[in-house]
Amino acid sequence: MTTMITRRARGRPRKEEGPDPRQILDAAVAAFAQHGWEGTHLRQVAEAAGVDAALIARRYDGKMGLWQAIVDDVSRRLEDMFADVAQGPDAPARDRLAGAVEAFVRLNLKLPDLGRFFIDQISRPGVRRDYVIARMWEVYRAAMLPIVAEAHGSARPGRDPAVYVSLLLGAVAMPLMMRSVTMADWQDPVAREAFVQNVLRLFAER
């Protein structure tokens, strides 16, 4: 029988002593993406983040608490990102779409393992899949759909906003998942900016 996850309140995790939580959470995203749920251990995350595993265990109450903190953190970052885009309602619809697409790409460049983490979690039925869909996918989808519909015209044939948001996610996540093969220089600022501009030309050309 699966155990339902209780959402954490907004704000920093308990046990606030020590390093910035973002340092730990970003390392944890990479660990879960690369090793999956079963293969990820707190000591791996601790080593990558440069902290003691006992600190992570205390702060997040174990692996499930850490995993949930990742999802909640990404959800908040998505909410904040789209709130910033929505602050320009008087801007042309296609400009707001370009702003949303650009912000989404840049967030993924900051968290290059996010797409792999997301895909791995939603491919495994259960409580973690349900939580990721509710806290990550639905936040992304609910914010993007109206922007896409307004920019493209929801009634135009061949321009289904729901298909668009799925394709955008894949177009951003897949190259980063394959970055060791297709983007060997992905950490170079020029290459990263070129990636952003390529996605914009494909999905939000003005």
> Can you give the pLDDT at residue 32?
96
> Can you give the pLDDT at residue 187?
84
The token pair at 153 is 């015209």
CA angle 196, 26, 67 (to 5 degrees): 120
Contact call for residues 111 and 26 (beta carbons, < 8 A): yes
> Can you give the pLDDT at residue 186?
79
> Can you give the pLDDT at residue 5?
57
Neighbouring residues of 27: CB distance < 8 A, sequence distance ≥ 6: 45, 48, 49
> Can you give the pLDDT at residue 87?
66
Structural domains in the chain, sorted by start? 68-203 (1.10.357)
CB-side exposure of 29: number of CA atoms within 13 Å?
24
CA dihedral 84, 86, 88, 90 (to 10 degrees): 180
**Segments of the chain with pLDDT less than 70:** 1-18, 87-89, 154-158, 206
> Can you give the pLDDT at residue 26?
94
